[in-house]
């Protein structure tokens, strides 16, 4: 399947397609026994969101309690398959491919930035749960977006789980011209993403980044992370413009003012071996920043890095479900009643 390039050319799958099977690998790749086999099959749906064709991955019965999962930078929604499989409750889970990732359409913009992600999330939630607040889970960039959204629209979030979406150290004012200059330079010399000679090479690249990633899970992710292009190479399902630096600075005061508005209980999950977590823990005022979140539980998971939902999904899932249960948002009869107004997804 050729990889799309710009808006209007992103490949589309039928909305009823099952997308968790072991089909689609070329002969000679990982055997079926070696590839991860999902316990819960995903459905592929499409939704018009802010003039883009958005791909939504969905699992479970649409009449069941809703969980919304948001992936991180240079990732795709299929990244949550292992976590979905490890959940005890029979949830209705949706996970969008953010704009410019996976099967979602690319933009014509010069870069991707947080306000657009918030606007996209707002429309997605308005479609899937127009009346009821939602349970929101975000990883990395998706966790940062989830926290910002929970402060901007606090009435829309029932419970929030943040997986390594820890913010950034912050930029001083004098960084503004440097960032703008770097953005202009990148526009003049657009980035190019590396391609690969096989899905197996993509899987090995994933394992290079995360040495804990097992062969079967790497094989599964490779097919969703990349696609064969017209030249026969295997290219990432991502707009290279994601590599263009954002011209705006990260203003800690703005983030704190937004976090202060969060009303939902927040589970803040950090990986013990994550360089990102250790970097943020070393920021002098980081503990003070977190103190601005009204209801916060912090948890560390040992023997895992940044991609903890790949490495320790079986440990992470009960942690999440216990948190939701303790805060009245768990799976059960009461949740089914409270989520009774959730609309079933429509296929576009």
Average pLDDT of 307-336? Answer: 88
DSSP category for residue 87: -
In whole angstroms, what is the distance from residue 37 CA to residue 85 CA? Answer: 10
Q: Is the pLDDT of residue 220 over 60?
A: yes
How would residue 331 be classed by pLDDT, with cut points 50, 70 and 90?
Answer: confident
Q: Is the pLDDT of residue 150 over 80?
A: yes
Q: What is the pLDDT of residue 50?
A: 97
**Model pTM?**
0.88
Percent of the chain with pLDDT over 90: 83
Range with lowest mean pLDDT among 21-25, 50-54, 305-309: 21-25
Q: Please report, for the chain, the start and end positions of each structural domain, with discontinuous segments joined by +.
A: 43-168+175-338
* Digit-coded pLDDT (tens) for 48-107: 999 999 999 999 999 999 999 999 999 999 999 999 999 999 999 999 999 999 999 999
Angle at 118 between CA 113 and CA 122, to 5 degrees: 150
* Digit-coded pLDDT (tens) for 105-117: 999 888 899 999 9
Average model confidence (pLDDT) across the chain = 89
In whole angstroms, what is the distance from residue 131 CA to residue 129 CA? Answer: 6
Q: For 43-168+175-338, give the CATH class.
A: alpha beta
Average pLDDT of 9-16? Answer: 40
* Entry field: residues in the chain: 348
Residue 17 has which token pair?
A: 């397609």
Burial class (CB in 10 A: 0-12, 13-18, 19+), 341: exposed
User: Cβ of 94: how many Cβ atoms within 10 Å?
Assistant: 29
How would residue 332 be classed by pLDDT, with cut points 50, 70 and 90?
Answer: low
Please give the torsion angle defined by the CA atoms of residues 73, 246, 136 and 236, in that order, rounded to the nearest 10 degrees: -20
Closest CA to 274 of 225, 318, 311, 308: 308
In whole angstroms, what is the distance from residue 211 CA to residue 290 CA? Answer: 30
Closest CA to 160 of 175, 178, 139: 139
């Amino acid at each position: 399947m050729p990889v799309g390039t710009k808006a209007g050319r992103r490949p589309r799958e039928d909305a009823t397609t099952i997308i968790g099977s072991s089909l689609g690998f070329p002969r000679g790749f990982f055997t079926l026994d070696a590839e991860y086999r999902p316990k819960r099959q995903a459905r592929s749906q499409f939704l018009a969101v802010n003039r883009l064709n958005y791909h939504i991955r969905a699992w479970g019965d649409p009449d069941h309690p809703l969980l919304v999962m948001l992936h991180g930078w240079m990732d795709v929604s299929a990244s949550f398959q292992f976590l979905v499989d490890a959940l005890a409750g029979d949830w209705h889970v949706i996970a969008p491919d953010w704009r410019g990732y996976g099967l979602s359409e690319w933009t014509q913009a010069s870069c991707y930035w947080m306000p657009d992600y918030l606007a996209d999330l707002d429309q997605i939630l308005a479609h899937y749960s127009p009346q009821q607040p939602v349970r929101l889970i975000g990883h990395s960039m998706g966790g940062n977006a989830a926290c910002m959204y929970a402060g901007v629209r606090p009435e829309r979030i029932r419970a929030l789980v943040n997986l390594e979406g820890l913010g950034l150290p912050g930029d001083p004012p004098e960084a503004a011209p440097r960032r703008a200059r770097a953005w202009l330079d990148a526009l003049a010399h657009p980035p190019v993403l590396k391609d690969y000679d096989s899905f197996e090479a993509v899987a090995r690249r994933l394992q290079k980044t995360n040495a804990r990633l097992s062969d079967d899970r790497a094989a599964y992710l490779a097919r969703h992370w990349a696609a064969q292009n017209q030249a026969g190479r295997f290219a990432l399902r991502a707009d290279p413009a994601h590599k263009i630096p954002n011209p705006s600075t990260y203003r800690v005061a703005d983030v704190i003012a937004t976090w202060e508005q969060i009303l939902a209980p927040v589970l803040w999950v950090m990986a013990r071996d994550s360089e990102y977590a250790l970097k943020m823990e070393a920021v002098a005022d980081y503990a003070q920043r977190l103190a601005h979140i009204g209801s916060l539980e912090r948890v560390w998971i040992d023997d895992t890095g940044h991609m903890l939902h790949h490495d320790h999904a079986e440990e992470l899932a009960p942690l999440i479900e216990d948190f939701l249960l303790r805060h009245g948002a768990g799976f059960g009869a009461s949740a089914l009643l409270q989520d009774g107004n959730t609309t079933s997804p429509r296929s576009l």
